[in-house]
């Protein structure tokens, strides 16, 4: 979101940007909002608020730049500033607590899991969706941005306002937590998770 | 047989730089621009069992996430409501 150039778009240009660059991302935006809030009405409100803010501040958007990342950043900020304060959700582990627990961006990538590829491939949608939904919101967010939406680390850093190193480490931690959840599902499915492939 | 080789003798069973390798493999899987990424990936998958296993597990989870968690149906009235509200603030 560049604030270097504050162009004044004409109404026609504004409408064109809104329709051609912003609206095509509505399905991704809704999916993101729903996975943050777990509530259809809250997700709708969050997406609507995001699009209204995007329209109001359209002059700070530079035509031809990454509209999807710009919109995701607004949605993320709206979620933190507005939604989380009035959340109907029961309190979950806050990322700050988790961060304090780990207390570093340095992640040990060497931890391994005995979860097997064939067990993962046999999983239905519910298991992976439930595993993703069970993660604390900041871990869930990096997985959504990276694995569902395909943002680069640099784009994620801008959306989340964190350094790239933190994106990388948070993503790795999120994936380890996700694997722990999937491993539990695999065991209930009867897969022997202790054997090597 | 070398204890550091897998039973097939194709890949080593221990990775001396596992932490560094896993980080690199995840970056490659995520589409980050790693110099000689394709070459590095090919070599690691051919020669190192922990790297092979880690990469394929991460890839399977990533594919599962993409195919199973992206299809929340956007409510039909959302788009209309947004357009209506935008008209109001114009």
Q: Tell me the pLDDT tens digit for each residue of A173-192.
A: 999 999 999 988 888 877 76
Domain end call among A44, A61, A86: A86
Q: What is the 3-state secondary structure (H, E, C) of B13-33?
A: CCCCCHHHHHHHHHHHHCCCC
Sign (positive or negative) of CA dihedral A115, A121, A125, A129: positive
Residues B62-75 pLDDT 10s:
999 999 888 788 99
Whether residues A179 and A99 share a domain: the answer is yes
pLDDT for B42: 94
Q: Are residues A143 and A173 in the same domain?
A: yes
More confident residue, B6 or A34: A34
The pLDDT, as a whole number, for residue A150 is 95
Residue B33 has pLDDT above 80, yes or no: yes
CB contact A104 to B (< 8 Å): no
User: Are A61 and A31 found together in one domain?
Assistant: yes
Burial class (CB in 10 A: 0-12, 13-18, 19+), A104: exposed
Can you give the pLDDT at residue A196? 44
CB atoms within 10 A of CB A140: 20
Range of B29's domain? 18-89
Minimum distance, in Å, between the CA of residue B4 and any CA atom of chain A: 15
State the pLDDT at residue A110.
55
Q: Which domain holds residue A48?
A: 11-86
Reported confidence tier of residue B4, pLDDT bands at 50, 70, 90: low
The Cα of B15 is separated from the nearest Cα of chain A by a number of Å equal to 9
Q: B36 by DSSP, 3-state: which?
A: coil
Residue B85's H or E segment, with its range, is helix B76-89
B9: confidence class by pLDDT, cuts 50, 70, 90 = low
pLDDT of residue B85: 94
Give CA–CA dist B5/B9, Å, rounded.
5
- Alpha-carbon distance A167 to A159, whole Å? 10
Chain B residues whose CB is inside 8 A of the A168 CB are 23, 26-27
Task: Tell me if the pTM is above 0.95.
Answer: no
CA A155 to the chain's CA centroid: 12
Distance of CA A134 to the CA centre of its chain: 13
The pLDDT of residue B37 is above 80: yes
**Does residue B8 fall inside a structural domain?**
no
Reported as a single tens digit per residue, the pLDDT across A47-86 is 999 999 999 999 999 988 999 999 999 999 999 988 776 6
Contact of B86 with chain A, judged by CB distance below 8 Å, is answered with yes
* Cβ distance of B72 and A31 shorter than 8 Å: yes
Q: Is B76 in CB contact (< 8 Å) with chain A? A: no
Same domain membership, residue A78 and residue A104: no
Residues A178 and A126 in one domain: yes
Instruction: Assess if residue B69 is contained within a domain.
Output: yes
pLDDT tens per residue, range A112-166: 567 888 888 878 778 899 999 999 999 999 999 999 999 999 999 999 999 999 9
A82 — contact with chain B (CB < 8 Å)?
A: no
pLDDT band at B57 (very low <50, low <70, confident <90, very high): very high
What's the domain count of chain A?
2
């Amino acid at each position: 979101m560049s604030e270097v150039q504050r162009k004044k778009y004409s109404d026609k240009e504004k409408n064109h940007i809104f329709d051609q660059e912003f609206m095509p991302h509505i399905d991704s935006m809704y999916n993101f909002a729903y996975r943050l809030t777990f509530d259809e009405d809250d997700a709708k409100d969050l997406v609507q608020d995001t699009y209204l803010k995007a329209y109001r501040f359209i002059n700070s958007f530079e035509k031809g730049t990454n509209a999807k990342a710009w919109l995701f950043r607004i949605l993320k900020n709206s979620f933190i500033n507005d939604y989380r304060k009035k959340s109907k959700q029961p309190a979950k582990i806050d990322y700050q607590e988790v961060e304090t627990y780990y207390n570093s961006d340095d992640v040990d990538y060497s931890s391994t899991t005995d979860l097997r590829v064939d067990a993962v491939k046999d999983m239905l949608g519910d298991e992976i969706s439930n595993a993703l939904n069970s993660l604390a919101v900041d871990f869930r967010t990096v997985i959504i941005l990276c694995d569902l939406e395909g943002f680069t680390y640099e784009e994620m850093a801008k959306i989340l306002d964190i350094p790239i190193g933190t994106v990388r480490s948070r993503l790795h931690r999120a994936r380890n937590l996700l694997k722990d959840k999937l491993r539990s599902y695999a065991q209930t499915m009867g897969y022997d998770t202790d054997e090597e492939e | 047989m070398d204890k550091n080789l897998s039973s097939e003798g194709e890949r080593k069973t221990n990775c001396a730089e596992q932490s560094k390798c896993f980080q690199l493999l995840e970056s490659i899987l995520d589409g980050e621009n790693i110099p000689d990424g394709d070459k590095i990936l090919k070599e690691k998958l051919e020669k190192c069992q922990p790297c092979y296993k880690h990469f394929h597990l991460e890839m399977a989870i990533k594919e599962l996430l993409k195919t199973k968690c992206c299809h929340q149906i956007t409510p039909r009235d959302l788009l209309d409501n947004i357009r209506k509200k935008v008209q109001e603030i114009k």
